[in-house]
Structures are given as C-alpha cells and as structure tokens.
C-alpha cells in the first residue's frame, strides 16, 4: 500500500478474488491504482484530511482517501452514503477490500501472468488519460462546437416522420375489402377520416396491441427499417395505404394522420450530442497520435514463422453446424414489395 506496485497488484488481485469468491459491496480500488482519475501531483488538502480513519495491517486509511473513494462512486451509490451508519458500512467494505488485497499479495498472486497483464493495462489507461488531460481535449468552447456542428450538420438532421394508424387483417383479400369499405366514403377533413378509420380498426383489426388503441401504431420515421415504411410514406396525408404484408402480424392497411417534415435542429437542441461526439473524436485522434509516436520510437521485431505457429482459438460455431448446407430463405421483404405494387 505504500508503493505503486504493491497497491496496483493488490487492486487487481482483490478484484480477481472477488470474481471467484464471496462478493464485497462497494469494493474500491487502492489509492494509486485508479486509472486516470487523478493527476500525478496530488492536490493540496484541507486541514484534517490526513486524519487516520482506520489502519489495515498497520497501514493508514486517511479521511482524504475515504472521501476520494466516495467521490469515485457512481452518483446513485454516493447518494446512499448520507447517514453515519451508511458511511460506516462503506468503510467496512473498504477494509474488507484492503484485507483481501494484502492477502492476495502475500500469497504471491502478484506474479501471475494475468495479474501482471491487468496491471500493465491499468498503466496504459492511466497514461492515455493523463495525455488527454494535458492536451486540453476536454476544453471545447462555443466556436469549436459551432464549427463541428456545421461540418457534420447532415448527421444531426431529423428525418421526416408520420403518425400512423393501422388495421391488420388475416389475408390480403380481407385487407383489401376493409380498405374499400373505408375509401367508399368521402371525408372532408382528416379528423373525420381518422375517426372513421379508428372505428374500423377497433372493430376488425387482428392486432390487439394497436386495435385496443383504435389502431394507433405511433410515429414512423422516414429512415426506419420497419415493414411498411415505404408504403406509408407514399400515401398522401389523410388517406390509407395499399395493403402491405407484415410476417409477424398479417396484412396491414395504414392511415396517415399527421406528418412532420425533415428538419435541421438548432445547435442548442443537440449540443450535448455534438459535444460528446467531438470529444470522442478528439480522444481517438490524440490516442492515435500517441500510439504512432510511441510505435515509431520503439524497437519492434516480429518473427512471422513463430506467429504462424500460434494456435487459433476454437471457432464460435461448431464445425458440425458450420458444415450444414445453406437452406433457401423466404424473402418476406421482396414478397411484400411485390404485393404492394398490385
């Protein structure tokens, strides 16, 4: 606990033990093993932060360390630690974790290959996090956000959508008969047509999910990959579509009640998503720059013959299944398209 190596090994070992043994609630990592959450130089502490709250095998757990571990928890977990009794339970879990980590180190688990690999992975994560922090990748001003949004405006465009009601019949002839019974009447307003179609759907639709709501399916986006999307967007507002086949339900007639055109949202509407995407892009670029630089500086030798002798992993699908002949699959989508053009 007093050196980085010991603490990191303890963290990895205790976590591996917890995966194979009894679970310990809120098991936190040791101080110096947190991957990327802290800078190299610790911040100045307020008076009283060095008060020792507990000692485990003679090594101190300070108030500052306990508070740091609490802050490292997820928000919902932190919210549970309001009372002294809850914080006492959290301290117990910290102590249990430290005891397990020490026991694992004493037992020699720190020399196992999987533990050493986990420690190296933690070091890499920490190095990348520190590099990102030093680069200022998190500092995104209004101009940067505006520029990114302009360059990627098409990716944020909201597609057109339509509010759809449906009537589901068992067969195509039945769906066409019900469609004719609806179109036989002339409706002056869309609301009148919707009321008539909703009544028809409530009486005859076989799909109880929508039938119980007078046929309401909901909003359908123009870019949706759902059955009937093309037919619905070819149908004028306030009218019914040609029947289309849904393999899971039957033959469907849709009514278009409302429509909203495609639009470009304001930056303020999508600022959080824009910021997230830009940050992720910056992180990827900075990470790749770091990797390229380190690779260029490293001495690397690869023995291709030795690599060719590495045994491949077992296939995800057993050979007996992979060797089965390919069976023809009925193309429901093609069938639906054929029928809707009649």
pLDDT, greater one: 325 or 89: 89
pLDDT score at 37: 42
Q: Where do the domains of the chain lie, and which CATH numbers do they carry?
A: 4-37+46-135 (no CATH), 158-260 (3.10.50.40)
Give the chain's mean pLDDT. Answer: 81
Task: Determine what percent of the chain is predicted with pLDDT higher than 90.
Answer: 54
Greatest mean pLDDT among 110-124, 162-176, 292-306: 162-176
> Taking 80 as the threshold, does the pLDDT of residue 33 lie above it?
no
Rounded mean pLDDT of 206-225? Answer: 87
pLDDT score at 296: 93
> Taking 70 as the threshold, does the pLDDT of residue 273 lie above it?
yes
Q: Residue 149: what are its φ and ψ, rounded to 5°?
A: -65, -40
Nearest Cα to 226, choosing from 215, 235, 218, 214?
218
328 three-class SS? coil
Quickly list H helices, 27-83.
63-71, 75-78
Residue 138: pLDDT band (50, 70, 90) is: low
What single string gives the DSSP state of each residue in 40-83? SSPPP--TTTT-EEEEETTEEEEHHHHHHHHHTS-HHHHTT--S
170-180 residue pLDDT tens: 999 999 999 99
> Taking 60 as the threshold, does the pLDDT of residue 280 lie above it?
yes
Nearest Cα to 139, choosing from 289, 282, 13?
282
Residue 118: pLDDT band (50, 70, 90) is: very high
Rounded mean pLDDT of 303-321? Answer: 79
pLDDT, greater one: 199 or 27: 199
pLDDT score at 4: 36
């Amino acid at each position: 606990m007093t050196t980085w190596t010991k603490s990191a090994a303890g963290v990895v070992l205790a976590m591996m033990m917890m995966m194979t043994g009894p679970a310990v609630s809120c098991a936190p990592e040791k101080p110096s093993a947190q991957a990327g959450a802290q800078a190299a130089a610790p911040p100045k502490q307020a008076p009283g932060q060095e008060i020792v709250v507990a000692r485990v095998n003679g090594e101190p757990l300070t108030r500052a360390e306990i508070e740091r571990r609490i802050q490292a928890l997820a928000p919902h977990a932190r919210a549970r630690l309001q009372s002294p009794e809850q914080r006492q339970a959290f301290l117990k879990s910290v102590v249990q974790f430290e005891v397990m980590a020490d026991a694992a180190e004493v037992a020699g688990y720190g020399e196992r290959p999987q533990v050493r690999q986990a420690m190296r992975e933690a070091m890499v994560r920490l190095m990348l996090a520190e590099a990102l922090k030093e680069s200022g990748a998190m500092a995104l001003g209004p101009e940067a956000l505006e520029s990114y949004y302009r360059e990627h405006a098409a990716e944020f465009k909201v597609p057109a959508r339509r509010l759809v009601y449906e009537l589901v019949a068992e067969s195509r002839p039945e769906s066409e008969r019900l469609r004719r019974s609806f179109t036989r009447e002339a409706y002056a307003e869309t609301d009148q047509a919707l009321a008539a179609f909703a009544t028809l759907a409530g009486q005859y639709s076989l799909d109880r999910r929508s039938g119980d709501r007078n046929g309401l399916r909901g909003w359908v986006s123009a870019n949706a990959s759902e059955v009937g999307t093309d037919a619905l967007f070819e149908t004028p507002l306030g009218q019914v579509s040609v029947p289309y086949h849904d393999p899971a339900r039957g033959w469907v007639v849709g009514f278009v009640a409302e429509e909203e055109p495609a639009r470009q949202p304001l930056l303020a509407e999508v600022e959080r998503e824009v910021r997230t995407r830009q940050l992720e892009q910056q992180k990827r670029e900075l990470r790749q720059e770091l990797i390229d630089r380190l690779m260029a500086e490293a001495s690397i030798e690869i023995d291709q013959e030795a690599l060719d002798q590495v045994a491949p992993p077992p296939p995800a699908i057993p050979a007996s299944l992979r060797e089965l002949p390919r069976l023809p699959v009925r193309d429901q989508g093609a069938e639906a398209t054929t029928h809707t053009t009649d």
